[in-house]
Structure 1
Amino acid sequence: MHDESSAGDQLRYLRRSRGLTQESLAERAGLRPGVVKKIEGGGNARIETYHALARALDVRTSRLFESGPPHRDRRGDEDNLVLMPLRQAIAPAVGAAGPLATCGTVEPDPDLAQMRRTSDALADSYHRDEYATVAEVLPPLIHSAHLAVRHFDGGADRTEALRLRGRVLQMAGRYLVQVRAYDLAQTALRHAVEDAATSGDQAGVAAAVYQQGWLLIRQGRLDEAEQVSVVTADDAEPRISRASRAALGAWGKLLVHASSAAARNNRPNEAREMLRLARTAGVALGGATAVDNGSWGRFDWRTVAYQAIENQMVAQRPTRALALAARMPPLPKGQTFGRRHLLDVAQAHAMLRQSDDALGILASLRSETPEWLRHQRLAADVFRDARRARRRALSREQRALGEFLGAQ
C-alpha cells in the first residue's frame, strides 16, 4: 500500500517546482480539477491517476512515492530524514578503524577521472537548478571520494583525490545552505576547506570559504563572515598585472562577500572598501567573465554592481537601489546570473509600495527559474510586502504565485 501522505507531499513538490497550479496540472493530466487537491491533502487515488499525473509532470510514476529534496519551508535539518543519505556520507559514524561507511568495504580501485567527470556534471546540474539530481548523486559521490582518499596514501593521486573530495564537499555545502540544512552544511564546508588547503587548491579554498560566509550570515555570525572572507581574500590576492581569470574571480567573489557581511553588520565604510577592491578585479577582467561552476561560480563587473545595489537595500535605501539598478543592462533571456539581483529590485519596489512592479518581477522569475525561486525566503517576504501595499485584490495569477511561494 502506498504512503498517500508522502505521495501528496511529493506531488505538491513536483507541481510547484514546475510552476503549476493544482488546476493547471489537473488539466494537463486530463483529470478533474479537484483530483490534485485531494491527493495533496492526503487522499487516495488509483494507480492510473498517479500515472496520468506523472506523465503530465514528465517523471516516473514511482517518483510520486519517493522522498524529494527538503521543502523550502523547513528551517532545520535535525529531524529531516530526506537528508539521511547526505548525513551518512558527510558525517559517518566513526569507530576505531575509521569511518563506519568505509570499514571493510571492498571496492574496485578508484577512478579519479570518472569522479572528476561526475563532479563536473553535477556542478552543471546544480547551476540548472536540478536539485533533485544533486540530492540523489551527492551521497554516492562523496562516498567514492572518501574511498579514493583512503586508497591513495601519497603522491599526485592522493593530492588529486583530496582536491576532488574538497570540491564535492563544497558542492554539498552549497546545496545544503540552499535548502537551509545549516549544521550539516557547516560540517561539509569545514572539511572542504581542509581538503582544498591540503591539496593546494586555492580556488577550492576560496569557494568553500565563500559558501561558508553565506552560511555564517544566515546564522547571524556577521563578524566571522566578514573576517574569514577578508583573511582568505588577503591570502588569495593575485598580482593584477599577471593574474589569471580564475584568480581574479576567486579574489573578487571573496571581496564581494566580505562587503555583503560588512553591510549587514552595519559597517558601511568597510563594505564600500571591499567593493572598491572587488571593482579592481572586475576592471582587470575587462569585459570578460570569470567562471568556475564547480567552485565559486561567476564573477565580473556586474557582480560588484549587483552587490552595491544589495548593500543599498540592506541600508533601507530602495530609491537609491532602483536608481543604480536602472543603469544596469537587461539580463539576457534565460540568464540565471543576476537573478538574486532581481529579487533586490523587487524588494525595492515593494518597499516603495509599487506592488505591481514587485509582483511582476516575481512572476517572471517563477516562469524562468521556479526551482531556484521556491528556495528563496526573500521572495516570499517580497510577496507579502507587495500584497500589504496593494489596495486592490490579488488576481488569480498573483494568488497562485503566493501559493507557489508559500506566502499565502
Structure 2
Amino acid sequence: MSSPNLSERLQAVRKRRGLTQKDLATQSGVSLSLIRKLEQGEREDTRLETLRRLAKALGVSTSALIVRPDVAEGTSLDWTPVRDALLQRDGVRSDETPSVWGVLEAVEMAEPLFTDNRYRELGALLPTLLRDADALGSAGRRVRSRVLHLAALLMISTRQFDAAEIALRRAQDDAPGRLEEAAIVNTRCWLLMRLGDLSGTLSLAAREADEIEPRLSRATPEELAAWGGLMLRVSTAASRNNEPGESEDALRFAQAAAVILRNEWAPPSDPLRTFGPIAVATRRVENYMIEDRPDRVLALSERIPKAGFRARASSRNRHRLDVAKASAQLKRYTDAFEVLQEIRAISPEWILNQRMARDILGKIVAKRRILTPEMRDMADFIRLEY
C-alpha cells in the first residue's frame, strides 16, 4: 500500500488531536482556507514553513506531515552538458592528456565562481573540468572528488537535485580521506534539506558528526570546522523539524568549536565552506526565523559584522534574506525591499534560485496599492507572479 499523502496525514493527525479545521487554523496561524485545500488534496506544494507551523500546533514533527517533493522547479539554464559529463556519456574526447596539477589549478580557478554565485560561468566550465578529472584515472582521485563536489554544490544551488545526487555519489567514492568524506556528507545533508527530508537530514548529519567528533582540547582546526559544520546542519534541521531542544544542543556544540577557532576558517577538506563564530551566529538567526521570532532576527543581525563571509557569498545572502523576511513580518517593507535590492546587486544569479526571495517580494507587493518602478523591475527579474 502506498504511504498516505499530505491531505490524509494532516486530516488523520488533526482528528486524533480532537481539533476542528478552525481550531487548527487558530492555533497554527495558517489560514482556514489553506487547511481546507490541503486536506481536500487541492494543494500538495505547501511551503515547509507552513508545514512546520501545522506540525507545531499538532504536536508532531514536521516529518510526520511532509510529502517529499519531486524534482523541484528548475532553472532556465541548460544543464544537459553538465549532466552528460557527470554520467560520462557526452562522448567528447581530447587528444591532450590532462595532468593532476593542471586540473587542480583549474578547479581552484573555478571555485571562486561558485562562491561568488556566478553560476553560468561555472556551468560552462564544468563539463570540460569533469572530463579532464575523469581522464586522470586513479591518480586523480583527490582532485576528481573535489571537482565532483563542486559540481554537486552548483547543482543543488540551481535545483538540479538528481544531478547533484550523481555528483555526490561519485565524489564520495573518490574522497581521499575521512574529513573529505565528512564534507561531502555535509553537502548531502543540504541536498536532503532542500528536498524536504528533515528526518533524513537529522539522522545523517548526527551520525556523521558522532563518527568524527574530536576531542576539543586536542582537535586540529580542520577537525573542529568539519564537526562544527555538521552540528550546524543538525541544528537547522532540528529547528525546522520542530525539535527546539535538539536544535539548541547542536548549536551549543558548534559554538564550543567556534570559540576555539576564534575566526572564520575554510578547511582544506572543504574549501568552499567556512566555519567559525559568524557561521554560528548566522545559523542562530536562521533558527530564530524558522521559529517566527523576527524581532530576535533583527536584534542579533545587528551584532553580526558585515564582513567575514569570506568563502561563500551565498552564506551572506542567505543571512540577509532572513533579515529581509523578518523586516517584512514586522511590516518594515521598505527595509525588506532594500535588502532584496542589495542581494540582487551582489548575486543576481543566486537570488533567481531563491523561492524565499519571491515570497518576501510577494508579501511586499501585496501591501502596496501602487508599485514603484524599482519594485516592478524586481518582480520581473525574479519572475514573481502577480
In 1, Cα distance between equivalents of 2:289 and 2:340: 17
Check the 8 A contact 1:176/1:184 in 2, yes or no.
yes
Q: Which residue of 2 aligns with 1:20?
A: none
Q: For the aligned residues, what is the CA RMSD?
A: 2.6
In 2, Cα distance between equivalents of 1:106 and 1:407: 43
Q: Which residue of 2 aligns with 1:300?
A: 276
Check the 8 A contact 2:180/2:269 in 1, yes or no.
no
Check the 8 A contact 1:90/1:187 in 2, yes or no.
yes
In 1, Cα distance between equivalents of 2:121 and 2:346: 19
Say which of 192, 209, 212 aligns to 1:233: 209
Q: Which residue of 1 aligns with 2:329?
A: 351
Q: Which residue of 2 aligns with 1:147?
A: 135
Moved more, 221-230 or 367-376: 367-376
Q: Structure 1: which amino acid aligns with 2:109?
A: A
Kindly report which structure 2 residues correspond to 1:23-102, keeping only aligned pairs within 5 A, or say none. Answer: 75-76=73-74, 82-93=78-89, 101=91
Q: Which residue of 2 aligns with 1:396?
A: 373
* Pair 1:260–1:266, CA change in 2 (3 A): same
* Pair 1:101–1:203, CA change in 2 (3 A): farther
TM-score by length of 2: 0.74
Check the 8 A contact 1:217/1:261 in 2, yes or no.
yes
Give SS of 1:194's match: helix
Q: Which residue of 1 aligns with 2:55?
A: none
In 2, Cα distance between equivalents of 1:360 and 1:386: 11
Q: Which residue of 2 aligns with 1:191?
A: 170
Check the 8 A contact 2:264/2:278 in 1, yes or no.
no
Say which of 259, 268, 271 aligns to 1:283: 259
Deviation at 1:176, TM superposition (A): 0.5
Deviation at 1:263, TM superposition (A): 1.1
Q: Which residue of 2 aligns with 1:323?
A: 299
Q: Structure 2: which amino acid aligns with 1:303?
A: A
Check the 8 A contact 1:203/1:295 in 2, yes or no.
no
* Pair 1:339–1:76, CA change in 2 (3 A): closer
Q: Structure 1: which amino acid aligns with 2:166?
A: T
- Percent identity between matched residues is 33
Check the 8 A contact 1:76/1:182 in 2, yes or no.
no
In 1, Cα distance between equivalents of 2:78 and 2:266: 35
Check the 8 A contact 1:263/1:271 in 2, yes or no.
yes
Q: Structure 2: which amino acid aligns with 1:75?
A: E
Q: Which residue of 2 aligns with 1:244?
A: 220
Deviation at 1:254, TM superposition (A): 1.4
In 1, Cα distance between equivalents of 2:366 and 2:268: 40
In 1, Cα distance between equivalents of 2:332 and 2:239: 25
Structure 1 residues 171-191: Cα deviation after superposition (integer angstroms, max 9, x where no partner): 101000111011111111122
Q: Which residue of 2 aligns with 1:314?
A: 290
Say which of 369, 373, 383 aligns to 2:361: 383
Deviation at 1:204, TM superposition (A): 2.3
Deviation at 1:292, TM superposition (A): 5.1
In 1, Cα distance between equivalents of 2:378 and 2:267: 32
Give SS of 2:250's match: helix
Q: Which residue of 1 aligns with 2:148?
A: 169
Deviation at 1:368, TM superposition (A): 2.4
In 1, Cα distance between equivalents of 2:268 and 2:116: 14
In 1, Cα distance between equivalents of 2:351 and 2:378: 11
In 1, Cα distance between equivalents of 2:317 and 2:103: 30
Does 2:273 match 1:273?
Answer: no
In 2, Cα distance between equivalents of 1:386 and 1:293: 41
Q: Which residue of 1 aligns with 2:384?
A: 407
TM-score by length of 1: 0.71
In 1, Cα distance between equivalents of 2:282 and 2:233: 12
Deviation at 1:279, TM superposition (A): 0.5
Check the 8 A contact 2:201/2:237 in 1, yes or no.
yes
Give SS of 2:274's match: strand
**5+ residue gaps, structure 1:** 1-72, 94-99, 153-157
In 2, Cα distance between equivalents of 1:333 and 1:236: 25
**Greater C-alpha Rg:** 1
Check the 8 A contact 2:74/2:158 in 1, yes or no.
no
* Pair 1:81–1:302, CA change in 2 (3 A): closer
Say which of 329, 339, 349 aligns to 1:371: 349
In 1, Cα distance between equivalents of 2:220 and 2:98: 31
Deviation at 1:125, TM superposition (A): 1.7
Kindly report which structure 2 residues correspond to 1:89-128, keeping only aligned pairs within 5 A, or say none. Answer: 89-93=85-89, 101=91, 107-128=95-116
* Pair 1:111–1:321, CA change in 2 (3 A): same
Check the 8 A contact 2:238/2:246 in 1, yes or no.
yes
Deviation at 1:123, TM superposition (A): 0.6
* Pair 1:250–1:180, CA change in 2 (3 A): same
Does 2:221 match 1:221?
Answer: no
Check the 8 A contact 2:225/2:257 in 1, yes or no.
yes
Give SS of 1:241's match: coil
Deviation at 1:147, TM superposition (A): 1.9
In 2, Cα distance between equivalents of 1:227 and 1:254: 11
In 1, Cα distance between equivalents of 2:271 and 2:209: 15
Does 2:119 match 1:138?
Answer: no
Q: Structure 2: which amino acid aligns with 1:278?
A: A
* Pair 1:280–1:101, CA change in 2 (3 A): farther
* Pair 1:75–1:221, CA change in 2 (3 A): same
Deviation at 1:129, TM superposition (A): 2.1
**5+ residue gaps, structure 2:** 1-70
* Pair 1:130–1:106, CA change in 2 (3 A): closer
Q: Which residue of 2 aligns with 1:178?
A: 157
